[in-house]
Structure 1
Amino acid sequence: MKEPEKGLRDRLVDVGVELVAAEGAEALTLREIARRAGVSHGAPRRYFPTHLELLSAIARRGFAELAERVAPVTGDGATAPRARLTALGRIYLEFALGNRGMYALMFRHDLLESGHSGLRDTSLPLFAVLVDLVGRARPDADARAVAGSLWANLHGIAQLWGWGSLQLATASEDFTALLRTALDAHLGPEGGR
């Protein structure tokens, strides 16, 4: 790809990342991204033949940022797996709550299902990290199943906390107790294994 083309392609994704941060995933139309990038409304189609491909490129940035945040926690082999899972869970929830538009975009079913987007290649390594840590913390269990359940639990906490439902139900403004309870439910009580 020629440099000017690569530059415009990256600029379209950059604009999309900024737009989703400011206005949410619903604002990510081809026309609005093109307008903010200062190009014709047809220009994005030269680099992203479908709207899903552009949205997937934007979502890949979100997965890359989340992976970057998680990397220091997952690479520390000296720290116990449970402590690393606690840190990973906290990072995941903080990312989800601090980047609600991007988080919603990253887990859109239509983007993850579209085979041409490559989004699964970006998202599955993060799940593999979770599976590995769960396997270390729970060598007696099916690590993929436990990791899937834990992830679903964390995703639910993120969604319900983002809507304000859990704060109301738990009378708390801190999700730490929920994170600890989710880990206990999937890994057993801390110190118990």
Structure 2
Amino acid sequence: MANEPDGPLRERLIDIGVELVTSEGTGSLGLREIARRAGVSHGAPRRYFPTHQSLLSAIARRGFGDLGTRFLAAGAAQPAPREHVRALGRAYVGYALEQRGMFELMFRHDLLDSTGREPSGAPRLREQTLPLFTLLTRLVGACGAAEPEVTAAALWAGLHGVAQLWGYGSLPLVLGADATGDSGPHVDALVDARVDALVDAVVDAHLGTAPA
């Protein structure tokens, strides 16, 4: 283990962190637990990550990479700007609900080293949202918004609120889609329909109702 190149061990520590946050949430991301699962001493991760925050940040970067991939897929069919915005909204909320632990970590800047750069020179973690926001702003502008950046920011906030409140169970409760303890195609279809309707409502609230 001691003779292993830096790259593979560093990536394995991140891989284990991703597995933990996906299966057990942010509370599972202790440095000692990650080291134990990697089969190394509890001090070994500090060879690559000087602080716990820097390791968590490397894990969160994977989440932003995955979300960026979903955004690319959402625009693969080159939809019209408004439909592209809807597709991005559904991709964003869908990711949040499927990857709740990672999504929470990605925006927990109190836990992350948000201002530091990776050794490779990669942008600061906070800057990972900039390309995604730039895309949203461009599309919102193409939809005719007078202040694209402000409108895009408000739209993002609305989508984030949907993701958070649905994950907390508040929106399913008030919308009659509380599927706690239930499963099956009917429940899944109900959840998907409700979430899509909420995304559409957020888009319409900020871009105006689509013409008939």
Q: TM-score, normalised by structure 1?
A: 0.91
Structure 2 residues without counterparts, runs of 5 or longer: 118-123, 178-190
Match of 1:36 in 2: 37
C-alpha separation in 1, matches of 2:27 and 2:75? 33
Q: 1:3/1:127 Cα in 2 relative to 1: closer, same or farther (>3 Å)?
A: farther
- From 144, 152, 174, the counterpart of 2:149: 144
Structure 1 residues without counterparts, runs of 5 or longer: none
Q: Aligned partner of 1:120: which letter?
A: R
Deviations, residues 60-109 of structure 1 (Å, cap 9, x unaligned): 000000101111333554x2111011111111111000000000000112
Checking the alignment, whether the CA contact within 8 Å between 1:21 and 1:99 is kept in structure 2 is yes
Deviation of 1:164 (Å): 1.1
Pairwise mapping of residues 111-150 of structure 1 onto structure 2 (< 5 A)?
114-117=114-117, 118-138=124-144, 140-150=145-155
* Residue 165 of structure 2 corresponds to residue 164 of structure 1: no
Give the match's secondary structure for 1:109.
coil
C-alpha separation in 1, matches of 2:4 and 2:140? 43
Q: TM-score, normalised by structure 2?
A: 0.84
Match of 1:9 in 2: 10
* Residue 115 of structure 2 corresponds to residue 109 of structure 1: no
User: Deviating runs (4+, > 6 A) in structure 1?
Assistant: none
Pairwise mapping of residues 44-193 of structure 1 onto structure 2 (< 5 A)?
44-74=45-75, 76-77=77-78, 79-110=79-110, 114-117=114-117, 118-138=124-144, 140-172=145-177, 173=191, 174-191=194-211
Instruction: Quote the sequence identity (%).
Output: 56
C-alpha separation in 2, matches of 1:94 and 1:108? 19
Checking the alignment, whether the CA contact within 8 Å between 1:111 and 1:119 is kept in structure 2 is no
Q: Aligned partner of 2:153: which letter?
A: G
C-alpha separation in 1, matches of 2:67 and 2:4? 27
Superposition RMSD in Å: 1.8
Count of matched residue pairs: 189
Deviation of 1:122 (Å): 2.0
Q: Which is richer in helix?
A: 1
Q: 1:113/1:151 Cα in 2 relative to 1: closer, same or farther (>3 Å)?
A: farther
Q: Aligned partner of 1:158: which letter?
A: A
Give the match's secondary structure for 1:110.
coil
